[in-house]
Amino acid sequence: MDSDKKTVVTVTGIRPDFIRMSEVFRALDEAPWCNHVLIHTGQHYDRLLSSVFFEDLEIRAPDYNLAIGAHGKSHYQQQADLGPAIIELLQNENVDPDIILFLGDSNSVLASIPLRKEGYKIGHIEAGMRSYDERMLEEINRKMCDHVSNVLFVYHENYRHKALREGIDPNRIFVVGNTVVEPLQKIISQLDQDLSDFSKRHILLDIHRPENFKDKDRLEAIVNYANWCSEKTGDPIIMLNFGRTIQAMSDFKIPTGSIEIVDLMGYRDFVRCMQQSVFIISDSGTAQEEPALLGVPVVVPRDFTERPESVENKCSFMLKLNNKESYEDSLRWARTMPFSGKIEWLGTGDTSTQIMSILKEVL
């Protein structure tokens, strides 16, 4: 490691964050002024939630993998172990970071608290995002990381204003656009026209948030809505096999109806799957962004969203569960979204370049 260069450590642990960070990783590796140390927390450790995304996005192997989730630990056990594990790793390996970068709102970002207490400088990409729904573990995580961060990279002005309202120093906040744009555009440019795996148009069902799968009434309403959509449109439904959601359906004795359960897939195949969707029913945050770039409608069965811009720009529709009027409205909207959805709120597709320029300046 070149001692004359700045040292930037990235800490990442889950599927969507590997995708979002992929071009930032690449830019850090190629920058002549810095050493990049990539730490994989191992929060997601299954191949279909982890290494396959390194392969699809051509991300180099992590320098260290902490395997924090591999032993079935609860979220609070992971959080308790992760900070000390990173600090011990940095000390044992003689890594002296000038800044440690986190992205998003997974459990991994809470390692920023003990690291900041140890005197390390913290950067948070995807800062300022708020749903104001305290049922979301992610809402707690993102707030905590924002308030211990020295540098906050926000996707757009709305997130900047939210951070300012919480008393965060404006000199720490930088608007850079959305990191998901670059990797998605790159995958789209590489895809051929072979859609044989998903040659039949379908409705895609993607449910994995605890506020949905832990609540029998909500989960049952979502499954019933999906089946209602299939009956109304004549389109088949495929549902991603998130284990805890499928187990909850079994425990609650919720019948799948006409829904076909399909395995999780790598990013390249998932982009194809989204492209072939008539529309998507999803409680994922990322699903309110990626499909917008593909012109695919997304119906969101949640009470609140941390991405209101997606709704305001007609890229997604907030569904009211057990409300037939909302059901009907969602289908009418889905037919118009590809012609009316606006994507300027996602940025200009040069976020990694902007982040690198700001990092070089602040370091």
From the candidates 75, 147, 156, 208, give the one annotated as an active-site residue: 208
Is 236 in a helix, a strand, or coil?
Answer: coil
**Residue 173 phi/psi, 5° resolution?**
-105, 130
- The answer to whether residue 208 is catalytic is yes
Q: Closest by alpha carbon to 183, among 309, 275, 56, 310?
A: 56
Q: Are 356 and 31 in contact (CB under 8 A)?
A: yes
Burial state string for 308-341 with b = 16 or more CB within 10 A and e = fewer than 16:
bbbeebbbbbbbebeeeebbeebbebbeebeeeb
Angle at 284 between CA 281 and CA 285, to 5 degrees: 125
Q: Angle 267-275/181-190 helices, nearest 10 degrees?
A: 80
**Residue 264 phi/psi, 5° resolution?**
-60, 160
Q: Identify the H or E element spanning 334.
A: helix 324-340
Active site residues: 208
